[in-house]
Amino acid sequence: MTKAQSTVMHVVDKNGNGKIDAEDFGLTRENLEGAGETVKGVAIAAGHGLKAGSAAMGKAFVEARLELDLKTLKPVFPDTLPFSINDPHAEAAQPSILSIVARDKKRSESEVCRGAVGYYQSAKGYELLNLYEDYVSQSALAFYPAATKGIFLADPYQVGVYIALDEYFDFIRKALVNELEVVAQDLGAKHVRISFKEDKKSLVAQQVQTKAKTKLESMSAEHSASVDEFSSVEIAADVKFSGHDSPVAPPLVYFKNESDIVKLVRMRTSDGSNKIESKTYRFQCNRLFGAKEDDSAQISAILNGIKCTGSASFSQNIQRESRTILEYSIEF
């Protein structure tokens, strides 16, 4: 052993046994066993911490995923529907347009959609309510002609009644005519004539203005010759009754807010001796159709947003009804 080695041995060899071992560093069996337990305890505690942290992270992830699903899938449940047939204020909350759809796989498998009866769909800044086909038969809503997949518009006069988009304008027209026929019959009329008169002067004017750019000299002649030619008249009903002198007030749905018809009923059912014998009434069709400007704009935007094939037809019908007058001639 060199002198340097002897010096190191003297300094390090704490127990004087002539060798460098664990005891020289204070590492006895008892200390090592104690240290092992301490390390083991720290490891167990760390393990519990990791498990708790992992569980918390997993829970947070699940909650975040569910929240995201709620925002993207937008499920609707029976108690969150925007209207109720038994609600006295349902008319104000009734959506002007909704859709009947089949259940899709993604929503059927989603936990957040469990128990849902439909979902919302964003379209041009509006929210379209989609109801599942297997739910509508259980609801209090009525669909014409049938509760099948498709787009439906609300009947503006009957809460909870929806009409297929393709049938809407014909349905309302027929309903208006039928109610006016019943009014005539119940009031004891002998003859009633109901017509739809479409005024196409605005269309003619547009055509004239277009042609005037190239044929200015013929503008005046074309205008005078086209106004009558482009007017159309549809006789919806021409009915003769035997007539009677025991008029009764008919139930009104589509004309309940029309002061002219309400007044007609009052004049015929009053006790006065000088009763009305005949009169002709004219009503603007777009007003009778309940086609409020805001609702029509919303419906058009939604139809365009979902790329519905009936969008153009709806807009054309709205324009047509704005040019059409319902004429009601009644004789007693």
Q: Which two tokens stand for residue 236?
A: 């919806």
Q: What is the DSSP letter of 241?
A: -
Average of per-residue pLDDT across 144-164? 93
Tens digit of each residue's pLDDT (9 = 90 or more) over 276-285: 899 999 999 9
Give me the torsion for CA of 26, 29, 30, 36, rounded to 10°: 100
> Considering the entire predicted model, what is its pTM?
0.71
Please say if the pLDDT value at position 93 is more than 90.
no
Q: State the pLDDT confidence band at 327, using cuts at 50, 70 and 90.
A: very high
More confident site: 7 or 316 = 316
Q: State the pLDDT confidence band at 290, using cuts at 50, 70 and 90.
A: confident
Average of per-residue pLDDT across 286-300? 77
Q: Is 109 exposed, middle or buried (0-12, 13-18, 19+ CB in 10 A)?
A: exposed
Question: For helices 168-186 and 259-269, what crossing angle results, to 10°?
Answer: 20
Average of per-residue pLDDT across 34-61? 57
Give the CA radius of gyration of the chain. 41
Q: Is 135 exposed, middle or buried (0-12, 13-18, 19+ CB in 10 A)?
A: middle
